Amino acid sequence: MIETLIQLLISGAVLGSIYGLIGVGFSVVHTATGAINFAQGEFAVLGAFLAISLTGADLPHFFAVIISPIVLTLFVVLLFRIFLTRVADDALYLVVATIALSLMLKTLLLYFWGREPIGLSSPFQGKTLNIAGLMLGYDQLLIIAGALIAYIFLLFFFSKHPAGKAMKAVVEEKEIAMASGLNPALYQGVAFAFGSLLGAFAGCLVAPVSMLSYNSGGLLGLKGFASAIFAGLDRPERAVFGGIILGVIESLVVLFVPSGFKDVVALIVLLIVLTLKPEGFLSGGRKRLA
């Protein structure tokens, strides 16, 4: 029993790291624009698919995983420059534009990569670590590591790096930021691109474990959004832990309820947390209107 429990905890942590990695992208975009990027899940799938195509062209796994997010980011920067700057100021319209974008991206994914799910061949060949009967695959381990790296990186970025501080400043008080010489559209664009970079990175890490299809973005996006909310949107890096908590809950819940109700329980926990702490479970505690 205890072994099962620990195994479930591990599974939950892996699942949660996936959610969290997608979730940080949401928070980062929200940090600068105040909007939710509904195409985040599609960005993750797009990142994974690009990496798959690159490995298909005989590029080593490692390079594919690095190049794919960069290519995607460039694409998003262009997209933002050409179209989205027009609505960057208005979170509501930006949200609608991302909803539309997710529909269009889905079709493009279907067109270029086909209807069937595809997986990224893993450099570890599905090898498994066996610690006293507990099983943990190397790929899974990599996902958890990726989530932690993202956490540390973002923590550093937002507290130390000038661009991170500027991004926070833009969303906190846009007009003062402008008066301080910051061009909000620039930082909104940067945040958007950065969010998609994180999404693509998440996609690349997830692809070896779970085969993705052009249609997978919706579910990933939903769980990522939940993780971001769980953690509080004002602290982007904490979405990683928001995701892990969500994943662990989902995983453990399976023990007690039929798995059809797994999500119901996870959502109810989320609702309770939101009612107790409206600004997010892990948030800094400062009340602010989202």
- Closest of 209, 191, 164 to residue 77, by C-alpha: 191
Q: How far is CA 33 from CA 38, 88, 178, in A?
A: 13, 7, 14
Considering CB under 8 A, how many residues would be counted as binding other proteins?
103
Contact status: 55 vs other proteins (CB under 8 A): no
Contact status: 83 vs other proteins (CB under 8 A): yes
Candidate ranges 65-73, 148-156, 179-187, 193-201; the one touching other proteins (CB under 8 A): 179-187
- Closest of 8, 6, 21, 13 to residue 238, by C-alpha: 21
Euclidean distance between CA atoms 150 and 96, whole angstroms = 28
Could you tell me the smallest distance in angstroms from the CB atom of residue 225 to other proteins?
7
Contact status: 212 vs other proteins (CB under 8 A): yes
Euclidean distance between CA atoms 61 and 180, whole angstroms = 43
Contact status: 218 vs other proteins (CB under 8 A): yes
| DSSP sequence for 20-50 | HHHHHHHHHHHHHHS---TTHHHHHHHHHHH
Candidate ranges 2-10, 55-63, 70-78, 188-196; the one touching other proteins (CB under 8 A): 2-10
Contact status: 161 vs other proteins (CB under 8 A): no
Tell me 135's DSSP state. E
Euclidean distance between CA atoms 93 and 88, whole angstroms = 8
Q: How far is CA 37 from CA 115, 137, 187, in A?
A: 24, 31, 15
Contact status: 155 vs other proteins (CB under 8 A): no
Contact status: 209 vs other proteins (CB under 8 A): yes
Q: Which is nearer to other proteins, 152 or 271 (CB)?
A: 271
Contact residue for other proteins among 53, 66, 93, 141 (CB under 8 A):
93
Contact residue for other proteins among 115, 145, 152, 156 (CB under 8 A):
115
Contact status: 145 vs other proteins (CB under 8 A): no
Could you tell me the smallest distance in angstroms from the CB atom of residue 31 to other proteins?
10
Restricting to residues 223-242, name those near other proteins by CB under 8 A.
225-226, 229, 233-234
